[in-house]
Chains A and B, each alone.
Chain A
Amino acid sequence: MGPRVVVAMSGGVDSSVAAALLSEQGYDVIGIAMRLAADTPSSSARRRGTCCSHEDFEDARRVAERLRFPFYVVDLRSAFSAGVVADFVGEYLAGRTPNPCVVCNREIKFSRLWERAAALNADFVATGHYARIEADACGRFRLLRAVDYAKDQSYFLFNLTQEQLRRTLFPLGSMTKDAVRVRARALGLATADKPESQEICFVPDGDYASFVERSAAPQALRPGNIVDDDGLRLARHEGVHRFTVGQRRGLGVAAAEPLYVRKIDPFSGDVVVSGRARLTSAGLLASRVNLIPPMRSDAGFAAQVKIRYRHPALPASVKMTGSDCAEVRFENGGPAVTPGQACVFYDSDEVLGGGIIERAIEL
């Protein structure tokens, strides 16, 4: 039997095919589904298509049975609640817009799951992420965008270290989503035609504001005013967690031109709205920065920087301003940046690193 690999299986088509490919390649595959969110009977119907419903676990189990490798469900609910959900709620309450997938990769998949995998004598952890890992001649590992740019998920993986890259496999990185579906059908996988999961798995209805309100202490909510650029009050709002920088809809303010959230002040509770022309920035400051290849930290480097998963990368210069802090300046100016989101540095297809956006550098 080949090297042992623990495959994180959600029951979806991607992780199922990832497991199947590794199994075919002769790896000693162990499938593991992570129980992350508490599941109540009333929510299970709604949860269909997200990653934690019983039906999804059963789909994953069927794949394992068909391909004859062992499969287990592990309970990571408390770690997920403390590491991911609490961060998500706290960030929204602080007027920021978190990216829980980034946090989950950092706190759960590439830490807790790896601990479990190591305990099971696994050499690798694999996931169905669309991204590539390559080793260079010096034995250094590079994280690269997926071949299928439309599906590329390297944005969520900037936190991986050399050590983590060394023992991680992304079997789908060189495949297109269509090829994955074809593969799934050829393998007769029950999950071949399952819809994509788009929403955040623990907020299946996509209503983040209500989720935050249910999860937070009432006194932690921060109501305030919607104000214009001059500080003029336009309306009241029920909490800064209901807003995200760049948001246009749902402001409840009538104006001659469309207004967007430009800035959120969690202390005063002010949500500043502006016309589109003012939604610009010169750059941003990032914290919790991880650099994947060894980089000289004193000198800046040029990169293309993505400040949201679905945004195009913008040319910029990046300069480390501390051990894990960076200053990013866009070459030609950039859009409004959203604190809490990830900013990821690319050199063409290679992920150089990334961090969490702390604040914008205004023009």
Chain B
Amino acid sequence: MRIYLDHNAGAPLRHEAGEALRQWISLGGCGNPSSIHHAGQAARRELERAREQIAGLIEAPPRTVVFTSGGTESNNLAILGALETRRPRRRILSSTVEHSSILGPLHKLEQQVFDIVQFGCVWNGFVDAAEVIGALTPDTALVTLGLANSETGTIQDFSGVGDAARHAGALYHVDAAQAGGRIPLTVKDLDCDLITLSGHKLGALAGSGALYVRPGISFPGQLLGGPQEAGRRAGTPNLSGAIAFGAAADCCRTSLHAEMERLSFLSKRLLDQLCGSITGLRLNGSAGRRLPNTLNLTFPSVAGETLLIALDLEGIEASMGSACAAGAVEPSHVLLAMGRSEAEARSSLRISLGWSTSAAEIEAAAAVIARVWRRLAAPQSDAGAH
């Protein structure tokens, strides 16, 4: 028995996405969308249909969607493209609880001439929008913020930021890699210039992502070459990735509310079960404004790394912080930013549900997690006494 509870790292391929891929492959999988012949035109139709499907997820016009290789590229493209188009502005506003694909570029830019301001968060993971708005200056090129936190699922309230950024002449980028397809998102509500979406978080293939670019922004590409994606991203697009992404986005859109309700119920059920059997279990992040699929839990009296491995050996697949290049787990920088101690962060696991998660799996997982935790938390009679 394997129970996959790590959808925030990457969801299993949705049946609908797999079916769309199979159809495309059965037709030969041939053609470059830029070619003028029949095969090229067929490929182009597929690509544009996928674009419409993804645009539909955020209620955006299709031509605003730029295909990328994933959330990381979208975030990099958003940041570097915004800086180029807002030259010579040098200030970037962000937070300390962002994904590494935002923190990485910001760290590098900070070593150059840029002025990076990163706001922290309060105990439950919220970044203060008023603080961000207050830091906007005529020199601000970009505000880049994650909507739903990948590790805790906390959904930020950034109302007012879009309006304020526009008045300051800055671009406003929202990283919705985790929120996309999981909660209702519209470009109108987000009121921003750039949105990052990720394919495999919602059940498409890894290696597919998208960046929404608001119409009317001149947005230079960073990957240079051919004129694909209206010059905003050179290179033959990853067509199979886009097809699966489009099909998965369509699924998410049509089942969004039912799925939110179902996953809320299941994650609450899991949390209730675990709270009942694990004294001192703590939910990290906001209890109310949270992705319906995400639970970040601090387990008392155990090392998260050992719990994670023991659970994997019992068939439960969860995660903790992020993995280093060597494959060891590191404590979550998000939990540390929320004021948790390193020891607490090292005792915390992220459990993320998704389309493939069944009620039976949640019942089984609750029992296994409680049992494994009890075993690990119990004082061991003969171990480690030396």
Q: Is B42 an interface residue (CB 8 A)?
A: no
Distance of A191 Cα from B191 Cα, bound (Å): 55
Residues of A45-61 at the interface with B, using a CB-CB cut-off of 8 Å, are 52, 54, 57, 61
Give which listed residue, B325, B330, B380, contacts A118 with CB less than 8 A: B380
Which residues on the A side are within 8 Å of B305 (C-beta)? Answer: 74-75
A33, A52, A57, A120: the one contacting B309 at CB < 8 Å is A120
In the complex, which residues of chain B have a beta carbon less than 8 angstroms from the beta carbon of A74?
305-306, 309, 328
Q: Which of A33, A70, A116 contacts B312 (CB 8 A)?
A: A70
Cβ–Cβ contact B383 & A54, under 8 A: no
A208 to B177 alpha-carbon distance, docked (Å)? 47
Determine how close the nearest CB of chain A comes to the CB of B335; give it in whole angstroms.
16
**Given A30-B313, A75-B305, are A118 and B328 neighbors across the interface (CB < 8 Å)?**
no
Residue on B with the closest CB to A53? B326
Contact of A116 among B306, B325, B328, B385 (CB under 8 A): B306
* B376 interfacial contact with A, CB 8 Å: yes
The answer, yes or no, to whether A35 is at the interface (CB within 8 Å) is yes
Give per-residue flags for A108-123: 1 if the beta carbon is below 8 A from chain B beta carbons, else 0: 0011101110111100
- Given that A75-B305, A119-B306, A120-B313 are contacting pairs, would A111 and B384 also be in contact in the complex, using a CB cutoff of 8 Å? yes
- Closest CB in chain B relative to A291 CB, distance in Å: 15
Contact of B313 among A61, A70, A114 (CB under 8 A): A70
Give chain B nearest CB distance to A19 CB in angstroms.
16
Interface size of B by CB at 8 A reads 22
Contact A75 B328 (CB under 8 A): yes
Q: Does B386 contact A (CB under 8 A)?
A: yes
Is residue A72 contacting chain B, with contact meaning CB distance below 8 A? yes
Most buried by A among B376, B382, B383: B383
A73 CB–B CB distance under 8 Å? yes
In the complex, A110→B384 CA distance in Å?
8
Q: Which residues of B contact A61 (CB under 8 A)?
A: 327
Chain A: interface residue total (CB-CB under 8 A): 26
B372-386 Cβ-contact flags toward A at 8 Å (1 or 0):
000110001011111
Chain A residue numbers with a CB within 8 Å of B324 are: 35, 75
Scan A17-39; emit 1 where CB is below 8 A from any B CB, else 0: 00000000000001001010001
Q: Smallest Cβ distance from A46 to chain B, in angstroms? A: 16
Q: Are B310 and A57 in contact (CB under 8 A)?
A: no
- Taking a contact as CB atoms closer than 8 A, the residue among B313, B380, B386 that contacts A161 in the complex is B386
Which residues of B are found within 8 Å of A54, using beta-carbon distances? 325-326
Instruction: Decide if B329 is an interface residue (CB 8 Å cutoff).
Output: yes
In the bound complex, CA of A30 to CA of B375 (Å): 18
Bound CA span A73–B384, Å: 19
Give, as a whole number of angstroms, the nearest-CB distance from A110 to chain B. Answer: 7
Known contacts A70-B313, A116-B306; is A35 also within 8 Å of B328 by CB? yes
Residue of B nearest to A113 (CB): B384
B328 x A114 contact (CB < 8 A) = no
* B-contacting residues, A156-179, CB 8 Å: 161, 163-164
Chain A min CB distance to B344 (Å): 15
Q: Roughly how many angstroms separate A319 CA and B382 CA in the complex, as a whole number?
A: 31
CA distance A247 to B386 in the complex (A): 35
Residues of A within 8 A of B327 (CB): 33, 57, 61, 72-73
Residue of B nearest to A117 (CB): B383
Task: Output the nearest chain B residue to A4 by Cβ-Cβ distance.
Answer: B313
Give the chain A neighbours of B386 by CB distance below 8 A.
Answer: 110-111, 114, 161, 163-164
> Complex Cα distance A54/B328, Å?
10
* Distance from A242 Cβ to chain B, minimum over Cβ atoms (Å): 32
| Contact in complex: A73, B328 (CB < 8 Å) | yes
Q: Once the chains bind, are B312 and A119 in contact (CB under 8 Å)?
A: no
Q: Which of A35, A110, A120, A163 contacts B310 (CB 8 A)?
A: A120
9 contacting pairs across A/B (C-beta < 8 A)? A30-B313, A57-B326, A70-B313, A73-B326, A74-B306, A115-B384, A119-B380, A120-B306, A163-B385
Q: Which residues of B are at the interface with A, using a C-beta cutoff of 8 A?
A: 303, 305-306, 309-310, 312-313, 324-330, 375-376, 380, 382-386
Sort A-B residue pairs by CB-CB distance and give the 3 closest, nearest first: A118-B383, A115-B384, A73-B327
Q: A residues engaging B (CB < 8 A)?
A: 30, 33, 35, 39, 52, 54, 57, 61, 70, 72-75, 110-112, 114-116, 118-121, 161, 163-164
Given A121-B375, A164-B386, 8 more A-B residue pairs with CB atoms under 8 Å apart are: A33-B326, A35-B328, A74-B306, A75-B329, A111-B386, A115-B380, A115-B384, A120-B309
